[in-house]
Chains A and B, each alone.
Chain A
Amino acid sequence: MAKIIVITSGKGGVGKTTTSAAIGTGLALRGFKTVIVDFDVGLRNLDLIMGCERRVVYDFVNLINGDSNLNQTLIKDKRSDNLYILPASQTRDKDALTQDGVEKVLEELKLTFDYIVCDSPAGIEKGAHLAMYFADEAIVVTNPEVSSVRDSDRMLGLLSSKSRRAESGERIKEHLLLTRYNPVRADLGEMLTVSDVEDILSIPLLGVIPESQAVLKASNQGVPVIMDELSDAGQAYGDAVDRLLGETIPHRFLEAQKKSLLQRLFGGR
């Protein structure tokens, strides 16, 4: 049975698309047939992060309008046979998405895929609403910062009231993913700590992604950061995917690394 997972946050710029790319790729690398759907119509980014921007012919809106079929529109990832991307339209706006159209496309995707990862746009308007409406599970991406946490809280409220599952009396399974976490700054009180955020949002913690140079580098190279297995962010996303699949793994990268004598001597970061 195909599972629809929405990656959402409310606030912009917290790492939804990076997370969608990483989680989607991680699921595909573990053998699940996965499609990542870009719901951010008008601000198409997922194809850039996935490095397939030059192969976009048709998009989500074309598919909804019946201008193209699924085979023509899906872009197959070059790194994994299990991974496909459904790009958003850059020239249209979010009003081009309709609830019936989105439902029809998702139902068709369910026939062939194990996981459908929906990359939600920021905000709580139509695009974000449609991205989460049909979801079975939700990964709420939050930065350790008060406004991001409050927006995530608002999003969690919408997930539990304005989704199809909520309307039929079921619940969407919610996961918290804390991104851009810097244990040093959290210790200094410049950032909310993991427990602060968990306390406010009170949903299970899927993972903590450390603030990492690897993320920016990966984005600019069009390689999902989870493929960078040497980086801390890549490893943290790997752990998050395993937890999503039901494994119990201790959280890493929560403590500030003590600087070694040599690092202290040379002042390296």
Chain B
Amino acid sequence: MTAESHSDKLDTDLAFNLKGGMLTMTVIELVRQEPERFARQLAEKVRQAPNFFKDTPVVFSLDKLSDELDATTLAHLLQICRDSGMQPMALRGSEAFRPLAQHCGLVLMLPGRVRDKSGEGERRGAAGPKKPEAVRRETPVAAAPAPVAAEGIPSKVITQPVRSGQQVYARGGDLVVLASVSPGSELLADGNIHVYGPLRGRALAGVRGNTEARIFCQSLEAELVSIAGQYKVAEDLRRHLWKEATQISLDGDSLKIVPL
């Protein structure tokens, strides 16, 4: 009792901290409001990359939608997303959508606020690789992860070997591994991947569609490398610069592997 009243007077132990942060979110830009077609195409995307959609926060963009959207259809579309494991967080659109957002319990994000720094994204989004971005329909805003990383999401640094069966994911930033990466292991990063031991497992950079992401390694012996969904397997990698120090980047629709 005494302790409690004491602490009331000297309230030094913070119950929370206020922090600024940038989060990467996938944007689903709605072009047509046809729930059946939407469900079918989404299921196809989910089938291609099941892990990508699991618990992924998504923003529903209504900018490209020409005709009126009613609450029932929107609720239906949101439910389809939730059923696929995604978590709709917000609607993006003009002020006119505010009642709709409130009705569905979502936040309304006005388009201008996100649009501002789309210049860099536009170039990136246009490459339109296979995997996750396809959902975003090459929307400029969707390719935001790189700016986010630049603004200081810390890189994930791994000092121990990454063993067979282990999976390491650097969400929103770069992944740096100072030890070996064994066959049967998997590295994932929204940004770049750097490996200073031999890279013998799988390495997937830019898993959320950052086509500027790169992979750097001291010895390329990987089972698979991928950037923004474009991949090459060991059988193809073996022919060129195998076991060499290399840099892998995306050049248009194909992976470019050059010596470091």
Determine if A150 and B184 form an interchain contact, defined as CB atoms under 8 angstroms apart: yes
B161 in contact (CB, < 8 A)? yes
Q: Are B164 and A153 in contact (CB under 8 A)?
A: yes
Q: Is B51 an interface residue (CB 8 A)?
A: no
A161 touching B166, Cβ below 8 Å: yes
By a CB distance below 8 angstroms, the chain B residues around A62 are: none
Asked if B164 and A150 sit within 8 Å, CB to CB, the answer is: yes
Given the contacts A161-B166, A202-B179, A156 and B184 also touching, CB distance less than 8 Å:
no
For residue B160, CB closer than 8 A to chain A, the reply is yes
A157 contact set on B, CB distance < 8 A: 162-166, 182, 185
**A154 interfacial contact with B, CB 8 Å:** yes
Query: Which residue from chain A places its CB closest to the CB of B184 in the assembled complex?
Result: A150
How many chain A residues touch B (CB < 8 A): the figure is 12
Q: For the complex, give the distance between the alpha carbons of A173 and B64 in Å.
A: 58
Tell me the complex Cα distance, A151–B164, Å: 8
Within 8 A of B (CB), among A187-237: 199-200, 202
- Please pick, from A150, A151, A156, A158, the residue contacting B161 in the complex, using a CB distance under 8 A: A156
CB <8 Å contact, B184 and A202 = no
Shortest Cβ distance from A43 into chain B, in angstroms? 24
Q: Does B180 contact A (CB under 8 A)?
A: yes
Instruction: Report the interface size for chain B: residues with CB under 8 A from the other chain.
Output: 16
Give B165's nearest chain A residue, CB to CB: A154
Determine whether A98 belongs to the interface, using a CB cutoff of 8 Å to chain B: no
A153 and B160 contacting across the interface, CB-CB below 8 Å? no
Give the Cβ gap from A35 to chain B, nearest Cβ, in Å: 29
Q: Do A160 and B182 have beta carbons less than 8 Å apart?
A: no
**A202/B166 in contact, CB under 8 A:** no
CA distance A151 to B166 in the complex (A): 12
Q: List CB contacts (< 8 Å) of B147-175 with chain A.
A: 160-166
A200–B179 Cα distance when bound, in Å, is: 11
Which residues does chain A contribute within 8 Å of B200, judged by CB atoms? 200
A200 — nearest CB in chain B belongs to which residue?
Answer: B182
The CA-CA distance from A154 to B183 in the complex, in Å, is 10
Give the complex CA separation of A234 and B183 in angstroms: 33
List chain B residues, Cβ under 8 A from A202. Answer: 161, 179-180, 197
- Given A200-B182, A202-B179, A202-B180, A154:B161 Cβ within 8 A: no
Chain A residues within an 8 Å CB radius of B179: 202
Provide the A150-177 mask, 1 if CB < 8 A to any CB of B, else 0. 1101101110110000000000000000
Q: How far is the CA of A161 from the CA of B165 in the complex (A)?
A: 11
Interface residues of A in 69-106 (CB under 8 A from B): none
Picked from B163, B164, B184, B197, the residue with its CB within 8 Å of the CB of A160 is: B163
A199 contacts which chain B residues (CB < 8 A)?
A: 198
Among B161, B165, B166, residue most surrounded by chain A Cβ atoms (within 10 Å): B165
Closest Cβ of chain A to B175, distance in Å, is 17
Nearest B residue to A10 via CB reads B164
Q: Which residues of A contact B166 (CB under 8 A)?
A: 157, 161
Q: Which residues of B contact A153 (CB under 8 A)?
A: 163-164, 182-184
**Chain A residues whose CB sits within 8 angstroms of the CB of B165 once the complex forms:** 154, 157-158
Judging by beta carbons under 8 Å apart, are A160 and B160 in contact?
yes
> Does B160 contact A154, Cβ atoms closer than 8 Å?
no
A191 → B minimal CB distance (Å): 18
Q: With CB as the reference atom, state the residue of chain B lying closest to A155.
A: B163
Q: Which residues of A contact B185 (CB under 8 A)?
A: 157
- Minimum distance in angstroms from A14 CB to a CB of chain B: 16
Q: Which of A150, A157, A158, A161 has the most CB of B within 10 A?
A: A157
- Cβ distance A156 to chain B, nearest Cβ, rounded Å: 5
Q: Roughly how many angstroms separate A154 CA and B165 CA in the complex, as a whole number?
A: 6
Selected A-B contacts with CB under 8 Å, 12 pairs: A150-B184, A153-B163, A153-B182, A154-B165, A156-B161, A157-B163, A157-B165, A160-B160, A199-B198, A202-B161, A202-B180, A202-B197
The 3 closest A-B pairs by CB, nearest first: A157-B163, A153-B164, A154-B164
> 12 additional contacts, CB 8 Å, given A156-B161, A156-B163, A199-B198?
A150-B183, A153-B163, A153-B164, A153-B182, A154-B165, A154-B184, A157-B162, A157-B165, A157-B185, A160-B163, A200-B180, A200-B182
